[in-house]
Chain A
Amino acid sequence: MLAVRGVTLQYRTKDHLVTATYRVSFSVLESDRFVVLGPSGCGKSTLLKAVGGYIRPVEGDILLDGSPVKGPAPDRVFVFQEFDQLLPWKTVKENIVFALTASGKLARRAAEECAEHNIAKVKLSEFADSYPHTLSGGMKQRAAIARALAMEPRILLMDEPFAALDALTRAQMQEELLQLWEETKFTVLFVTHSISEAIRIGTRILVLSAHPGQVKAELKSGACDEAALQELLFDA
């Protein structure tokens, strides 16, 4: 479904040209929970942004259902790590309605129903009319996930969505994400630097090396344990 073929990504800092990933290839199939795992600075977030359409590859192609990705679009919805991804001037429900109506997916009335349904799915009904700043970090991430799921994108892009949460909340959110996946079997591309999270979340895991990111291995989640991944990740 999503094909990434020989993608090299570069970005400019003030006085350097940095190669984030070098000739990375992988493909994500329908209903995959595809995890990109790598140490900090391996360009995995940059890679996800490229799939999102925010960055153009200098080499290689990114194809979604056979056609090249051109710019950000609602068929690839992002969930970010940062808590400020909800619009602070809208309530939880309005945030979801905004996403649905701004993208022209649903009209106002239908969007409200859809929002309520998805808020219930992430167990936030009580807080549907709350402004984001009154919510805890975990609740904000749940709201962001609800907003992304309501869009029913072809593929959900998650950029370390649980990294800024405390350990307890993180474990709970991982569990909830898996439960949500059981319901609709959405396709998700999930980026993380945590080995345990990769094993928990992923059906398939792509391991990247650092500086610049290159593919080290692609594994089925059942076929590896934490120690093996650790070795793979940190051995040169």
Chain B
Amino acid sequence: MPDGRVDFVVVEKPLAAWTRFWNIGAVRKTFLLLVLAGLWEGYARWLNNPLLFPTFVDTLKAFFSGIASGELPRAASYTIQLLLKGYVAGLAIAALLTAFASATRIGADLLETLTSMFNPLPSIALLPLALIWFGLGDGSIIFVLIHAVLWAVALNTYAGFRAVSPTLRMVGQNYGLSKVGYVTRILIPGAFPSILTGLKVGWAFAWRTLIAAELVFGVSSGSGGLGWYIFEQKNQLLIPNVFAGLLTVILFGLVVENLIFRTIENRTVRRWGMQV
């Protein structure tokens, strides 16, 4: 080559439009959802038994009429409110426990012992006891929610603190940070990947526990959340509504995981290169 250029090697060229389109995760996932919905519709039509397995279209209809009547949004907002109360209370207790564990050795032993005792215990198993202690109503549910959130968050946060590298710790001490500054500006950001994992796991545990508690025990019968909605519709054999209730539960899960937690992840640990 007279000018020293090599023509047959691609140095850099834009990918084809279709490849770029397919590289977007949301596009691939939407495609999968459409396929699943199609399979659902096909199977339900073939089965032709709306009492056992309503079609996707019927479920959507029930879903939208549930929204229009205000019944689903009311149930959902009740559930979310309860969930947030339990979640926040759980986080606060987890923060206290982790602080105690980080400050003293006996605190660390306490956290490890309590976690290994209570983490394997499904929260829902505590509900009968909670009903005796706190009676029918929100108190019992919040109690089991705290149990669902607390151990996952405390354990992950504590593990994250311990995994902050000795070099970073020494750097933190070098610049004369106060005790509080050291925790908030070195330990918490340094442990953030683990903390985030704890928050996600805690959220998932809480969500499942709550729906199950409402569903199985009808604890919140007075006002009624999503679980109660599902339970009631089943009693009236309104199966499409049951499916609509389940769909709502799934939608919340998707939104929280893919919008809220994913956004936090992209803005923090991924951008910082602490997680790929």
Residues of A within 8 A of B (CB): 49, 52, 54, 71-74, 76-78, 80, 82, 84-85, 87-89, 98-99, 102-104, 131-134, 151
Contact = CB atoms under 8 A, between A and B. Distances in A.
B272 A131 contact: yes
B185 interface: yes
A195 B192 CA distance: 41
Contacts of A52: 170, 174
A102 B192 contact: no
Nearest to A83: B167
A134 to B, nearest CB: 7
Contact of A102 (B168, B176, B271): B176
Contacts of B170: 49, 52, 54, 72, 78, 80
Contacts of A73: 174, 176
A76 B171 CA distance: 11
B177 interface: yes
Contacts of A78: 170-171, 174
Given A78-B174, A98-B175, A103-B175, A85 B181 contact: no
Given A88-B273, A89-B272, A99 B168 contact: no
B169 to A, nearest CB: 10
A21 to B, nearest CB: 19
B165 interface: yes
Contacts, number: 65
Contacts of B171: 78, 80, 85, 87
Interface string B167-202: 110110111110001000110011010000000000
Contacts of B271: 131
Nearest to B188: A89
Q: Bin the interface of chain B by size.
A: 20 to 34
A65 to B, nearest CB: 17
Nearest to A81: B167
Interface in B40-73: none
Contacts of B192: 89
A75 to B, nearest CB: 9
B274 interface: yes
In the complex, the 10 A-B pairs of residues with the closest C-beta atoms, listed nearest first: A133-B273, A72-B173, A82-B167, A102-B175, A89-B189, A89-B272, A103-B175, A103-B176, A88-B272, A74-B176
Contacts of A85: 167-168, 171
B185 A98 contact: yes
A148 B22 CA distance: 46
Interface string B206-245: 0000000000000000000000000000000000000000
21 contacts: A72-B170, A72-B173, A72-B176, A74-B174, A78-B174, A80-B167, A82-B167, A84-B167, A85-B168, A87-B190, A88-B274, A89-B189, A89-B274, A98-B185, A102-B175, A102-B177, A102-B185, A103-B175, A103-B176, A104-B176, A133-B273
A54 B173 contact: yes
Contacts of A104: 176
B102 interface: no
Nearest to B166: A82
A99 B175 contact: yes
A134 B175 CA distance: 24
Contact of A132 (B186, B189, B190, B273): B273
Contacts of A89: 189-190, 192, 268, 272, 274
Given A54-B170, A88-B273, A89-B268, 4 more contacts: A72-B174, A88-B274, A89-B189, A102-B175
